[in-house]
Amino acid sequence: MYNVPNYKEDNLDELTSFINRYPLAFITGLDENGNFVGTHIPLVVENRDNEMYLVGHMMKQTDHYQAIFKNSKVLVVFNGPNGYVSASWGANKSKGSTWNYMTVHVNGSVSFFEGDRLINLMRDFTLQHEKGDKNSPTIFDNLPDSYKERLMPHIAGFEIKVEKIDGVFKLSQDVNEETYLNILSELEKKEGLDKLLGEEMSNRKEKLFS
């Protein structure tokens, strides 16, 4: 990772909060022939016995499942908003522009599970993302039994025991307050990831300049 002290985020609560806000992870590992495999899967954080786990599910008939089943070591990458930050937005316009971003990297080992635990995972996962709406037709308990019976044999639940976690939140921590506010003003004019990046930076403004 980009190991610059100003940008490193070591607070576990902050890293966990980030994962919960941006749960879609890129999971990559090596198959038995040393070839890289990768996939994008939404994950949830679980803390048990002072250990941190990332939990999700994947289809069995995929190259990444076959690879990870045989080689459990994986790298998990969570990415947040990112965007171009022009040097023209600061007081010193003669220096290079940059790119702000937020990312968390996790190294860990995968264990697979099925049966009741997988059912409970699917139940909790769908209910969480349906905002707790038990009347939603798409939560696990409300899906047709025929659909679940056809689908579930092809899905494996898994957990990743977190062995190492690193975060980089590169959010212009190295500029003065005037430049920081100018950057926020410019990002507020934009849409999508740029605007979301500005919101993340705005939430940290008081902590940086108090």
The pLDDT score that the predictor gives to residue 74 is 98
Across the range 18-37, mean pLDDT stands at 96
Record the tokens describing residue 190, joined without a space.
């934009």
Reported as a pLDDT band with limits 50, 70 and 90, residue 67 is very high
**Of 23-32, 84-93, 118-127, 142-151, which gets the smallest average pLDDT?**
84-93
| Digit-coded pLDDT (tens) for 77-126 | 999 999 999 999 987 777 789 999 999 999 999 999 999 999 999 999 99
User: Can you say whether the dihedral through the CA atoms of 187, 193, 197, 198 is positive or negative?
Assistant: positive
- The identity of residue 81, as a single letter, is P
Helix extents (H) in 40-143: 63-70, 115-129
Domains and CATH numbers, the chain: 5-80+102-171 (2.30.110.10)
Cβ atoms of 68 and 30 within 8 Å: the answer is no
CA distance linking residue 210 with residue 205, whole number of Å: 8
| Digit-coded pLDDT (tens) for 44-56 | 999 999 999 999 9
Reported as a pLDDT band with limits 50, 70 and 90, residue 193 is very high
Q: Name residue 210's beta-bridge partners.
A: none
The pLDDT score that the predictor gives to residue 56 is 98
Across the range 134-138, mean pLDDT stands at 95
Other beta carbons within 10 angstroms of residue 82's beta carbon come to 17
pTM reported for the whole predicted model: 0.93
The pLDDT score that the predictor gives to residue 4 is 87
For the chain, what percent of residues have pLDDT higher than 70?
100
The pLDDT score that the predictor gives to residue 197 is 97
Other beta carbons within 10 angstroms of residue 1's beta carbon come to 12
Record the tokens describing residue 10, joined without a space.
């070591």
CA distance linking residue 160 with residue 172, whole number of Å: 32
Which position has the token pair 């939404």?
42
CA distance linking residue 155 with residue 2, whole number of Å: 36
The pLDDT score that the predictor gives to residue 132 is 95
The pLDDT score that the predictor gives to residue 149 is 95
Mean pLDDT of the chain: 94
For Cα atoms 20, 25, 29, give the angle at the middle one, nearest 5 degrees.
140
Across the range 148-153, mean pLDDT stands at 95
Closest residue by Cα to residue 171 from 42, 82, 67, 68: 82
SS3 label, residue 145: helix
Output Rg (C-alpha) for the chain, integer angstroms. Answer: 20
Record the tokens describing residue 137, joined without a space.
């037709």
Cβ atoms of 205 and 180 within 8 Å: the answer is yes
For Cα atoms 21, 25, 26, give the angle at the middle one, nearest 5 degrees.
155
The pLDDT score that the predictor gives to residue 91 is 73
Reported as a pLDDT band with limits 50, 70 and 90, residue 3 is confident
